[in-house]
Structure 1
Amino acid sequence: MAFIVLTSPLAFAASSTDLSVTGTITPNACTPTLSDGGIVNIGKISAKDLDLTSNTLVNTQPMQLNVNCNAANMFALNAIDNKAATSLADNWFGLGETNALEKLGIFRAVIKSALADGETVQAIYSLDGGTRWERTNQIGPGELTSVGVNRPLPVKDLTMELEIQTYIARADSLTLTDEITVDGSATFEMKYF
């Protein structure tokens, strides 16, 4: 019994570690908006107008993306593909599936021009959460998109002229016996630095 009493403090000795939570709450905020309510309506497309062996461009629509901040901020847009499992290609957003669970097509947001506080700027993107930045001409899923050279610039008002390009998958990969609803969806989320 004496043995247990003498060694029990050693058995209960434990190391410890600390957990810290840090960050910043900023009074500066930005609001992104898309023209046309962010809706691209490609209308009805006849199955016979689809290319049999390659994706068919069925619509290009200009759209303006505005980000308005109450003060200059370093930020990026985090592009989230809400239909990612249906995309036919990396860096493109998915359009949903057919009734036979076939990937229907893809769309992308091409950046035609960008103005930051009235000045022409270069669009940039990061694939690693904002450590490295490179030039880009589109907003792609899983990417952070901003403006600057090798890091985001502090910007109060950003305007990007976009072209939304919509492609339907090659007809020989789709079951086209019933009407199919095109159902692409993306979210552009603000990320501050």
Structure 2
Amino acid sequence: MNKLFVGALTSATLLLASTTTFAASTVDLTVTGLIVPSACTPSLSSGGVIDHGKISAKDLNTDNPTVIGNHTLTMTVLCEGQTLIALQSEDNRKGSSISNSDYGLGLINGTEKLGHYHLRIANPIADGVPVQSIASQNGQDNWYLERFWDPTLYMSVADMSDPAQPVPVQELLLDLQVDTSINRTDGLDLSNEVQIDGSATLTVIYL
């Protein structure tokens, strides 16, 4: 009887230890952030719309891309006070461009890439003072001089003497240059009307 009792007690102790071990398997969730006192509002001239109108398929190149327009929009970012910000873009037609550094114009028949456009920042002015455009892959560090605004890239502005550090702004003005091209047409079905369908979202990010 004693041996049976000891064995039962040992089994119960092992079961309790095993239960305690599983109960101690935990993971922590931390929620952090920062509330900034100032809000910033971006805007684009012409309502952010570039309309190329109707283009004849016969006017497009069969063996190389055709540039159909070079446009410049004015981008304004107004903040309630001096604020450290970046701008990030998202291609809403992702996958329809032939390059990851350009923005797509949509697909023909679900597979044929119609064309692309790229964005370039020029003549940035922060609170009346000329600045230079800089970029970062993560919006946190490793800033470098850059004019071309690739999809997902963080863009900000820096003092003319220090391109490695963004500066806070209250009013930012810049030229947003948009160059649009249609891909070579020997691989496109243009037997019917095709909508040029480029779309991107430009967002203010608070640093």
What TM bracket, shorter-length normalisation?
A: over 0.9
TM (norm. structure 2) is 0.88
- Aligned pairs (5 A) from 1:7-86: 7-13=14-20, 14-86=24-96
What residue identity is the alignment partner of 2:40? C
The higher radius of gyration belongs to 2
Q: Secondary structure at the match of 1:27?
A: coil
Over aligned residues, Cα RMSD in angstroms?
1.4
- Answering whether residue 147 of structure 2 is matched by residue 147 of structure 1, we say no
What residue identity is the alignment partner of 2:55? I
TM (norm. structure 1) is 0.94
Residue of structure 2 in register with 1:119 after alignment: 129
1:163 to 161, 174, 177: 177
- Answering whether residue 179 of structure 2 is matched by residue 172 of structure 1, we say no
- Aligned pairs (5 A) from 1:85-104: 85-99=95-109, 101-104=111-114
Aligned residue pairs, count: 193
Residue of structure 2 in register with 1:187 after alignment: 201
Q: Within 2, Cα distance between the matches of 1:188 and 1:151?
A: 21
What residue identity is the alignment partner of 1:190? V
**CA deviation vs aligned residue, 1:40-84 (integer Å, no higher than 9, x gap):** 001111111111111111011110011100011111111100001
Stretches of structure 1 that go unaligned for 5 or more consecutive residues are none
What residue identity is the alignment partner of 1:155? V
User: Deviation at 1:100?
Assistant: 5.7
User: Deviation at 1:15?
Assistant: 4.4
User: Deviation at 1:27?
Assistant: 2.2
Stretches of structure 2 that go unaligned for 5 or more consecutive residues are 1-7
Identity %: 37
